[in-house]
Amino acid sequence: MQPKINKDETILSVKKLGKKIGGRDIVRNLSFEVRAGEIFGFLGPNGAGKTTTIRMLVGLASPSEGSIHIAGYDLQKDFMKAISHVGCIVENPELYPYLTGLENLELFARMTGIPDERIFKAVEQVELTDRINDLVRTYSLGMKQRLGIAQALLHQPKLLILDEPTNGLDPAGIRDMRSFVRQLAREEGIGIFISSHILHEIQNLCDRVAIIQNGQLLQIGPIDQLTGVHSLVEWKLEPFEEGLLLLQSLPYIAKVLQTGNSKVTVQMPLDKIAETNHYLLKHDIRVSEISPRRQTLEDLFFDITGGFGL
Ligand SMILES: Nc1ncnc2c1ncn2[C@@H]1O[C@H](COP(=O)(O)OP(=O)(O)OP(=O)(O)O)[C@@H](O)[C@H]1O
């Protein structure tokens, strides 16, 4: 029987979190929540403060300001209770290659006092049943990741923290990861916090995202709401510089997002395409391509972070 999921239950609540290291603000005034059954993406360019935030969420670093509550428990005041609801896989999990997947989990379960019967459930949850009796040294990176996640699920956490989970995985590995992460959220009601810089992965997987830069929150919200706001149109123009200047002079062209290979992508209303095309042609600009599309998470990310560091 599937557990009843209360989607209003807040699993992780971060309020006004701050971290100073050597007098420098690494994380500032960061607030967000992750609810039961929700997949929450945490994005930011290199050096934005993602790892520092995760280190605070799992108790490896203490906040200079603010609070973290996990399943209602204050991580600072009630550490053991709060952390007992967290499963995390940060970097590569510790696994023994000359033991089978099952033996690895049995060893870990015994060391941490978890009953054996939980193991099969966790193996099922990460879709590793077929290979669980094989030696870990024969596993692909994706299978090792899944075994690591099974290990993190053994104590039935309400919050799962995954730091760059698709790093190094091939497309099939990424697809498998996406499938069971969705199931963990939808069927088990686990709140899932994923940091990543692979933006299309986040776009396909997460319900909501937070984008941070310089330790501060820039945007937070459901992906559809954040990305559906603008329509983008890519133009291929010749001569390019003159065409670009003309486009920029139009009052309804909101933003120029990318240039290269005689192409420019601008934010503009779709019903102005014909008018714009006519205007360019009238000024002897050859328009060889016009491609309208919806704004992606990647566009939004580059737009608001300035596109640095990815
Ligand atoms: N122990 C430390 N001492 C000094 N500076 C630090 C320390 N830890 C992190 N920083 C600095 O804090 C900033 C944020 O680092 P952090 O590793 O949290 O970023 P990140 O978003 O995880 O980046 P990446 O995607 O590159 O891992 C960086 O400028 C980093 O140099």
Residues with CB under 6 A from ligand 1: 21-22, 26, 44, 46-52
Question: Nearest C-alpha to atom 10 of ligand 1 is from which residue?
Answer: 26
Spatial neighbors of 83 by CB under 8 A, at least 6 apart, are 58, 59, 70, 75
Model confidence band, residue 268 (pLDDT cutoffs 50, 70, 90): confident
- ipTM confidence: 0.95
Atom nearest to 44 CA in ligand 1 = 21
Name the residue of 51, 57, 193 whose CB sits within 8 Å of the most ligand 1 atoms, as the mutation to test its pocket: 51
Name the residue of 50, 62, 162, 217 whose CB sits within 8 Å of the most ligand 1 atoms, as the mutation to test its pocket: 50
Residue 56 Cα to ligand 1 midpoint, Å, equals 13
Model confidence band, residue 289 (pLDDT cutoffs 50, 70, 90): very high
Q: 13-22, 161-170, 239-248 — which one is most confidently predicted on average?
A: 13-22
Question: Nearest C-alpha to atom 31 of ligand 1 is from which residue?
Answer: 47
Q: 129-138, 265-274, 293-302 — which one is most confidently predicted on average?
A: 129-138
Distances (CA, A) of 128 to 120, 191, 270: 10, 21, 47
Which residue, 15, 155, 182, is CA-closest to 85? Answer: 155
- How many Cβ atoms are within 10 Å of 91's Cβ, its own excluded? 10
Q: Residue 303 in contact with residue 257, Cβ under 8 Å?
A: yes
pLDDT of residue 307: 57
Assigned superfamily of 10-222: P-loop containing nucleotide triphosphate hydrolases (3.40.50.300)
Whether the pLDDT of residue 309 is over 50: the answer is no
DSSP 261-275: TTEEEEE--GGGHHH
pLDDT of residue 310: 36
**For 13-36, what is the mean pLDDT?**
96
Model confidence band, residue 164 (pLDDT cutoffs 50, 70, 90): confident
Tens of pLDDT, residue by residue over 98-130, are 999 999 999 999 988 898 889 999 999 998 999
Whether the pLDDT of residue 226 is over 70: the answer is yes
pLDDT of residue 1: 53
Enumerate the domain spans of the chain. 10-222, 230-294
> What's the rounded Cα separation, in Å, for the pair 246 and 278?
12
Residue 289 Cα to ligand 1 midpoint, Å, equals 42
Residue 51 Cα to ligand 1 midpoint, Å, equals 7
**For 27-49, what is the mean pLDDT?**
94
Between 306 and 274, the higher pLDDT residue? 274
Residue 86 Cα to ligand 1 midpoint, Å, equals 23
Place of tokens 């200047």: 245
Question: Nearest C-alpha to atom 13 of ligand 1 is from which residue?
Answer: 47
**For 268-273, what is the mean pLDDT?**
88
Whether the pLDDT of residue 2 is over 60: the answer is no
Write the CATH number of the domain with boundaries 230-294.
Answer: 3.30.70.100
Q: What is the DSSP letter of 37?
A: T
**For 192-207, what is the mean pLDDT?**
85
Name the residue of 20, 26, 310 whose CB sits within 8 Å of the most ligand 1 atoms, as the mutation to test its pocket: 26
3-state secondary structure 42-60: EECCCCCCHHHHHHHHCCC
Residue 124 Cα to ligand 1 midpoint, Å, equals 36
Residue 111 Cα to ligand 1 midpoint, Å, equals 32
